[in-house]
Chains A and B, each alone.
Chain A
Amino acid sequence: MIIKCPYCGPRDVIEFTYQGDATRKRPEPLSNDPDVWNAYVYDRSNPSGLHREFWLHSGGCRQHLVVTRDMTTHAISSVAFARDIASGGQA
């Protein structure tokens, strides 16, 4: 699998560290709702088809990327810096 890092260019997957589901949203820090936190910490979906994931380019620029990937074919449809998306951008 090759991930096209927006900073470093296309790189082999061995340079990256998987950092989990990028579709989850961290609950409000002050929230004490155990169900909401439990879902955030433990529940993961495993969709057949498109999925958004965080990948850290640990062997490169050390930026977290949001990778949209088809779980059945491993085809990657988009890659963006996590920071850009989290601050209002779209994947």
Chain B
Amino acid sequence: MTSSRLPRGGRVERSKSVRFTFDGKAYSGHPGDTLASALLASGITLFGRSFKYHRPRGVFAAGSDEPNALVTVLSGDVREPNVRATELEIHDGLVTQSQNRFPSLDHDFMAINQLAGPLFSAGFYYKTFMGPAIGPLRGTRFWMFCEKFIRRAAGLGKAGTAPDPDRYERMNAWCDVLVVGSGPAGLIAAEAAAGTGARVIIAEERPLPGGSLLASAETIDGRDPSVWAREKAAALAAMPNVRFLTRTSVWGYYDGNVLTAIEHVSDFKPNRTKGQPRQRHWIIRTGKTILATGAFERPMVFPGNDCPGVMLADAVRRFALEYGVAAGSNVTLFTNNDSAYEAARALSLAGVNIVAIVDVRADVSGACRDIATAANAELLTGHAVTGTHAGKTLSSITVQHFNAETCRVSGAPREIRTDCLGVSGGWSPAIHLASQAGGKPEWDEDLQAFLPPEPNQNWVVTGAAAGYMDTISVLSDAATKGSAKSRLILPPVEAPMLDASPAPVFQIEPSAKSQKAFVDFQHDVTADDVRLAYREGFHSVEHLKRYTTLGMATDQGKTSNVPGLAIMADARGISIPEAGTTRFRPPFTPVSFGALAGERYGDLRPHRLTPMHDWHLANGAKMYEAGLWHRPMIYGSHGETVEQAYVREARAVRQSVGIVDVSTLGKIDIQGPDAAELLDRVYTNMFSTLPVGKARYGLMLREDGLAFDDGTTWRLGETQFLMTTTTANAGPVMQHLEYYLDCIWPELRVHLTSVTDVWAGTAVAGPKARALLEACVTGTKVDNDTLPFMGIVHSKIEGVPVMVCRLSFSGELAYEVYCGSGYGTRVWEALLTAGKPFDVMPYGLEALGTLRIEKGHVTGAEIDGRASAHDLHLDWMLSKKKPFIGSAMLGREGLKDENRLSLVGLVSLDNQAITGGSHIVTDARPREPADSFGHVTAACYSPALGKYIALALVKHGTSMIGNRAFATDLLRGRHCPVEIVSHHMYDPEGSRMHG
């Protein structure tokens, strides 16, 4: 047992205990512990196995930068993989599991991969799985064969398959100033900003405010900095213009100063309050952003640097000061900069035994020496760690003389017994959000780190994130950045005089035969992999990243980015800024899909119901979802098939009379002195000549000359029209008209109103339609003189005002009856009552479709965005007297091509159904329809003709009439002999509707 709980210190509640399990074994910790601190306190240093080589790995960091200690949290059947143990707050009943090991963490079969190390170097997949040139496993098939074995051996935690039972929320927020981070910089900047009266949101990733102050041996205002931070945060949170969010990680920076954050609301609690979300996703729009995100300590790259017991010096300090945990009983520090001495001072004060401080620099300052002496630690300047010895945890390290100028190792190795090595390779400002926002980071030679770029939106960076590494300058920078008008009096700080600039040493490379030196722990990328990538020609940082997967793991290279770049720059013989850096992408830390979805899952479509919807349901309608609309498909009787039902309904319409709900048609009220002029421009045919009280069928094209939509438009007054559109195009037609009125013809005095939902519509069709109306319409006659074809009358049915227009989609004598939607059912029922003597039949979409197929009328199936008016035999509607939208493009070559598909009818020759979507071929053998020359757009059984029929778009359509072909649909196993006929299959003269 090496790591343990210190007798005192830390901010955990030592009087209470919390029970949890890790890999099935019970442990206990205290409230305030993370899984990492609680396990270290219990002497556990082995946390998982690595990605490729299955090497034993321990905790490396103490926060969101942790690359190694990833665990799976189990809750019932639900598993959440890849949770950082350093951020996971323990609670009673927490069940966790280590990852990427089989059968257990201590005995892992796949550790044999370590022996095969050279096989798994950079580009392993690209090189190995190209596959042989011939044979059953040629090319990528070899990869497909190997993949399942590889996937089992390599990787992170396994995702669960059980549905996520938790609730998540989304929250939109706005503020004048968003402060990201509540360390010394964030607190002071927020105080300065809030003091001006600005509305401030502060987002802190961790449970407690304070950032680096939580593990500091300095004093602020004569007090422990964590106490100062807590009081400052409490005072801020109490201000009415401040919202203080803890456990809230800001993970994305987008255009328009929009930032996204995840708040952990209850996933750290053993028992959630009913209805409380697990996480809340914040979308924050801010006037100004203050990025006070601090800095991440960097590791050094040296042989054997990945064994359990090697961790960041700052992590060793944080475990001791924040959680009262000694990460080892004999700690050694290895550094290229002064910050490790401050860690040594803090650790020593906390009661952790420091064996030695190994520093690559030839000499260090008096302040550093004093600290080493006070801590009773041996100071080895001009030395470097060149190897580690470890089973499941560190037992000793090897040190040798090291020249920081030449980066050469020399002299005899010396072994130092130690069970924990704290490493510091300098500090990298956490510029992730600024980089996401789009700026190019700038290299700072003094800090050997990338500093945030020039702002391209309204944001500022302050504190360690801006490169200020000592508390005094952090505070004064933050006060200024918080508000230019700030008059804050800053508290006195007591801290040793240390220098933040590191020696430019990133890697210790004693000899070619030394142990593996890891750069990216989470993806198992070594220094050798980076150099191999260079030798194989992957020089650019973008290529390096993709070839080696450096920085592409869930930690996004928080610890590995700069060391990786430094090694590549060294290999290329250029400077780090010349090598450049890749841009950080959201998310800063992993984000659950549940949080992104929030409450928006399942069926989110609005459901549009017609006024007669309840009547349809009550009368046996089988509903069909057409876009957002619910429409009756058939009104089924017991034991009837869909085909039997629609055939019965369609037959009734042709024989007597039927009614159908057409309320879903798009309706646009068009008013204004130039209303007729607008219609002349958007329809291919003339509307200005239409008399008041009459309707006309109209066709619209797109600007490119192809058919767009059709429908009837009724002239209700000199300056008022009611346009109807197809159900599906109600929205697009409205948008089309608005575009032309706003953008092209603003001089037209026309106003548009969508009135689709204002009117309920019923079509009455069949030879007895007029007799039916005569029985219920009051105040006007409906005879042929009063209400001729395309005529409109205003009258009443059962006292309800109605508009009746005589028009026909079915080919029968037919009318459309419109009334206010609130009266839809009343009028519908009145029509049914009036039709009783004629056995009136309500009919659904299937019968409606059958009637129009028999007549060869087109719908969206034929007006498919590719068909021209000519293709649909609607060229008679193209006015030669005026220009209209699409007229100029009608003559272009593509629309004149004689190989275009055009509309025809089909009749099944084997007396079985033709299936929709079938291809038209000449080959009698069913096979892949490579020689298809058309397709079926709609098909049905026609009761009027006693045959299975269809409409189709076919090459050379009209001249093919009379020919035989096959409608082939191999998916449904149908190869149907057909005869090509005119699309006017029933009553081509139209005598019935004019009757």
Contacts and interface: CB of A to CB of B under 8 A. Distances in A.
Contacts of B256: 1-2, 74
Given A1-B255, A86-B744, A38 B892 contact: yes
Interface string B84-100: 00000000000000000
Contacts of A32: 888, 891
Contacts of B744: 26, 86
Interface in A11-67: 17, 19, 22, 26-27, 29-32, 34, 37-38, 40-42, 54, 56, 58, 62-64
Given A30-B883, A32-B891, A38-B892, A64 B255 contact: no
Given A1-B256, A2-B256, A41-B704, A63 B891 contact: no
B731 to A, nearest CB: 9
Given A74-B256, A82-B746, A86-B744, A56 B739 contact: yes
B735 A31 contact: no
B703 interface: yes
Interface in A53-91: 54, 56, 58, 62-64, 73-74, 81-83, 86-87
B140 interface: no
A26 B456 CA distance: 36
> Considering residues B681, B888, B889, which has the most beta carbons from chain A within 10 angstroms of its beta carbon?
B888
Contacts of B738: 56, 62, 64
A86 B741 CA distance: 10
A42 B703 CA distance: 10
B337 to A, nearest CB: 37
B888 A27 contact: yes
B590 interface: no
Nearest to B745: A86
Interface in B731-747: 735, 738-739, 741-744, 746-747
B743 A87 contact: no
B774 to A, nearest CB: 42
A54 B888 contact: no
B704 A63 contact: no
B742 A83 contact: yes
B264 interface: no
B704 A74 contact: no
A1 B283 CA distance: 13
Given A26-B744, A86-B744, A86-B746, A37 B739 contact: no
A54 B747 contact: no
Given A32-B888, A34-B892, A87 B747 contact: yes
Contact of A22 (B258, B285, B743): B743
A64 B438 contact: no
A64 B883 CA distance: 24
> Considering residues B681, B741, B743, B892, which has the most beta carbons from chain A within 10 angstroms of its beta carbon?
B743
Contact of B883 (A29, A42, A54): A29
Interface residues of B, number: 24
A54 B746 CA distance: 14
Given A2-B256, A34-B891, A38-B892, A54 B739 contact: yes
B456 A58 contact: no
Contacts of B746: 82-83, 86-87
A55 to B, nearest CB: 11
B742 A86 contact: yes
B82 to A, nearest CB: 31
Interface in B710-752: 735, 738-739, 741-744, 746-747
A37 B888 contact: yes
Contacts of A83: 741-742, 746
Nearest to A74: B255
Given A34-B891, A34-B892, A86-B744, A19 B739 contact: yes
Contacts of B887: 29
A54 B891 contact: no
B891 A64 contact: no
Contacts of A41: 703-704, 889
Nearest to B889: A37
Given A29-B883, A41-B703, A41-B889, A19 B456 contact: no
B739 A64 contact: yes
A74 B438 CA distance: 11
A86 B892 contact: no
Contacts of A64: 738-739, 742-743
Nearest to B885: A29
B747 A58 contact: no
Nearest to B740: A26
Contacts of B883: 29-30
Nearest to B704: A41
B176 to A, nearest CB: 14
Interface string B433-463: 0000010000000000000000010000000
Interface string B504-517: 00000000000000
B205 to A, nearest CB: 26
Nearest to A32: B888
B880 to A, nearest CB: 13
Contacts of B747: 87
A31 B255 contact: no
A42 B456 CA distance: 34
A40 to B, nearest CB: 8
A17 B258 CA distance: 20
A90 to B, nearest CB: 14
Nearest to A58: B735
Given A2-B285, A41-B703, A73-B456, A31 B888 contact: yes
B735 A82 contact: no
A63 B438 CA distance: 32
Contacts of B742: 56, 63-64, 81-83, 86
B597 to A, nearest CB: 16
A87 B456 CA distance: 35
Contacts of A30: 883
B648 to A, nearest CB: 43
A62 B738 CA distance: 8
Nearest to A3: B256
B379 to A, nearest CB: 51
Contacts of A73: 255, 438, 456
Contacts of B456: 73
Nearest to A36: B888
A77 to B, nearest CB: 13
Nearest to A81: B742
A56 B731 CA distance: 13
A85 to B, nearest CB: 9
A29 B883 CA distance: 6
B285 A86 contact: no
Nearest to A66: B743
A-B pairs, 3 with minimum CB distance: A64-B742, A29-B883, A83-B746
Interface of B: 255-256, 258, 285, 438, 456, 681, 703-704, 735, 738-739, 741-744, 746-747, 883, 887-889, 891-892
17 contacts: A2-B256, A2-B285, A17-B735, A22-B743, A26-B744, A27-B888, A30-B883, A32-B888, A37-B889, A56-B742, A63-B742, A64-B739, A64-B742, A82-B746, A83-B742, A86-B742, A87-B747
Given A64-B738, A64-B742, A83-B741, 6 more contacts: A19-B739, A29-B888, A58-B735, A62-B738, A83-B742, A87-B746
